[in-house]
Structure 1
Amino acid sequence: MDPIKVAIADDHQIFRKGVILSMRSYTEFKFVLEANNGEELLANLAEAAPDVVLCDLKMPVKDGIDTTKQITKDYPHIRVIILTMYEDERFVGHLMDCGAAGYLLKSTDPSEIKKAILEVMKTGFYLNPFVNKVLVKKNYSRQKFNPTLTTEIVVTDREKEVLTLVCLEFTAAEIALKMDISSRTVEAIKDRMMERFGVKNSVGLAFFAMKNQLID
């Protein structure tokens, strides 16, 4: 099995090198790109073709927020994991809405970074206790979420089942197997719900479902 290709963008070279060095023993990964800021990352992204990007928030020239938006727009197959010192719940919700697949603090142990990368490659997102805490905070429910429904949110039994499995971090293929339907049908159901709820990916679906109590 080929190693997962990882890129890292952070304007602090010592931290950047430290992350790479701390994960050197994990043969599942191969670092293919280092960047000092978002602009440098984006300029080399197509050539490096990473599967996952570890991205800082505060960087010169182009910050992590704008960089995440650009990556999820132009390279939707690349998973972005935010790796930052900002322990601010407002950033978590906003970055997830922008399409980030995970949010980690720079104090995170390398073993959790490894776990996060593997999870986003498997399920599309990684929800650690810090991110989960945001889901139950009232201040997140007050943030602008841009849903398309202004009245009571209604989901079918099949949509509810898909939402439940998405929140349990099952992949589309695993959901299809459990529900005895095709992966294409699962993706179609997810696409319809993402359009209705005004979210961009499985992370957004999970947040929306939990925030609006659409699942048991």
Structure 2
Amino acid sequence: MIEPVLTHRAESGDDVPLLVWRLPESALAVSSAVLGGGIGPCGWVVNATVPMSYDRDDPATHLREIAAALDLTGPGVGLLTGVDAADVVAAGDGDVRLWATVGLSSPTQAAAPTTATAPHPGTVNIVAWVPHRLADGALVNAVATLTEAKAQAIRDLGLAATGTATDAVVVLCPPSGPAAPYAGPRSPWGRRLARAAYRAVLDGGAANLAGPSSWSERRSTA
């Protein structure tokens, strides 16, 4: 798994940051993303910053446009975040690699009252690489493990929340080889994912809460 490249795109007269992973070989991915969600092959991942005022109702189309402008072809996964993509936090545990952009401007409880509203959704995006083939069930299990670790980190930051309303996860692994059947927090691969996600969300969340870290806020004060 290669490191992401921080680049920019021209949009509405601004240079807007984004992260791009161009995979040297196609991977198997599970994702909750609006573009490329589900389980299937993946050749690239994009995590694109957008303004906190973002109001497009076609994010998948927007991400396809971003991918096309980057000459990304074939199946891939697209994510959006209000956080400055330059603030990505990398973490590793053993051979597991993980990257997170952590925006906690609107933390929420998953089982919030139906009257609860979030005027400006924050986003925690996690991209993780496991260097061993995971069975389909284990891929889904890995998403749950990462989500549990994220919630643990947010709790330890002192927030009465489990995440935000728009969080997304991507887990990548080789497409072939003997498949590991489990990725829960006490399995060999799951515990590495959990430890890496916990550290990344804890560090990224602490930085996010310490001061303005959305691209919109920084742009307005520059």
TM-score (norm 2): 0.29
Name whichever structure is richer in strand by fraction.
2
More helix by share: 1
More contact order relative to length (CA 8 Å, sep ≥ 6): 2
Task: With the length of structure 1 as denominator, give the TM-score of the two structures.
Answer: 0.29
